[in-house]
Amino acid sequence: MTYCVGLKIDSGLVFMSDTRTNAGMDSISTFKKMHVWEEPGERVIVLMSAGNLATTQAVVSLLDERNKAVTDRHEKLLETPSMYQTVRLVGETVKEVIAQSSPAGDKADSYFNASFILGGQIKGSPPRLFMIYPEGNFIESTDDTPFFQIGETKYGKPIIIRAYDCAMSLAETVKLLLVSFDSTLKSNLSVGLPLDLAFLEKDAFKVGLNKRIGQDDPYYRAISEGWSNALKTAFASLPDFPG
């Protein structure tokens, strides 16, 4: 499995992903699920993936290769005129890869399926955040739904629903994401450390922060241990059932 969250705040876009992939309990590996493309000062794009690893790697490789090719009839990721054209390009690539792997049948139910969170900013437009389905179509975040999760989304959702606020600082948002990831890590073995974190500050057109967080990260440890205690304190603060 996988757990990735992309979140929009007033000051930009924040992304976090785990790195565990598995083909059964006895075949566990670490793979980066967060990919960044940037042309500093002009555009920055982050793509996170969940689902079949062969599919997600193929999508990223195709986007990369076509981007570097001098002549190629395909559109290039660093040349699309808008984030809308960018998400369409990625969606088309997803469709292409899944269709190659499973030529017949329902694409959404395919064993080869994968979903993505795409966010970024291109000069002249605000930051935008999208979720891309295995069918290649996509939705965009709004003020009502300012974040997307893919993979093992349930354990970590309640705290995001309750604590998210678009006026949060980056420092608070990272805290929120770590609490959400920690709940997921504690409940599902197929989501694992280390975590990748990226922040795209609004109008910076480059990656402001790109950090890997492992087991020994002192801040992660503080949150993981602190949250257990804080939850117990919060729980104790509520009145007991009167009977």
Residues that bind its own copies (CB under 8 A): 154-155, 157-159, 161-163, 169-176, 178-179, 183, 186-187, 209, 219, 222-223, 226-228, 230-235, 237-243
- What is the three-class DSSP state of 175? helix
Compute the least distance from the CB of residue 11 to its own copies, in Å: 13
Compute the least distance from the CB of residue 182 to its own copies, in Å: 9
Complex with its own copies: residue 103 or 239, whichever CB lies closer: 239
Q: Which H or E run includes 183?
A: helix 170-187
Give me 108's structure tokens.
């959404």
Complex with its own copies: residue 73 or 216, whichever CB lies closer: 216
- What is the three-class DSSP state of 85? helix
Compute the least distance from the CB of residue 5 to its own copies, in Å: 15
Residue type at position 124:
G
User: What is the distance between the alpha carbons of residues 50 and 56, in angstroms, rounded to a whole number?
Assistant: 7
User: What is the distance between the alpha carbons of residues 101 and 237, in angstroms, rounded to a whole number?
Assistant: 54
Give me 146's structure tokens.
């300012």
Complex with its own copies: residue 132 or 179, whichever CB lies closer: 179
Cβ atoms within 10 A of the Cβ of 121, count? Answer: 24
Complex with its own copies: residue 135 or 172, whichever CB lies closer: 172
Compute the least distance from the CB of residue 91 to its own copies, in Å: 26
Instruction: Burial-class residue 164 by CB neighbours within 10 Å (0-12, 13-18, 19+).
Output: middle
C-alpha R_g of the chain: 19
Cβ atoms within 10 A of the Cβ of 145, count? Answer: 12
Compute the least distance from the CB of residue 204 to its own copies, in Å: 15
Q: Which H or E run includes 150?
A: strand 147-151
User: What is the distance between the alpha carbons of residues 38 and 236, in angstroms, rounded to a whole number?
Assistant: 47
Compute the least distance from the CB of residue 61 to its own copies, in Å: 32
Complex with its own copies: residue 34 or 83, whichever CB lies closer: 34
Complex with its own copies: residue 81 or 226, whichever CB lies closer: 226
Compute the least distance from the CB of residue 83 to its own copies, in Å: 26
Instruction: Name the one residue in this structure whose structure tokens are 């006026």.
Output: 167
Complex with its own copies: residue 31 or 219, whichever CB lies closer: 219
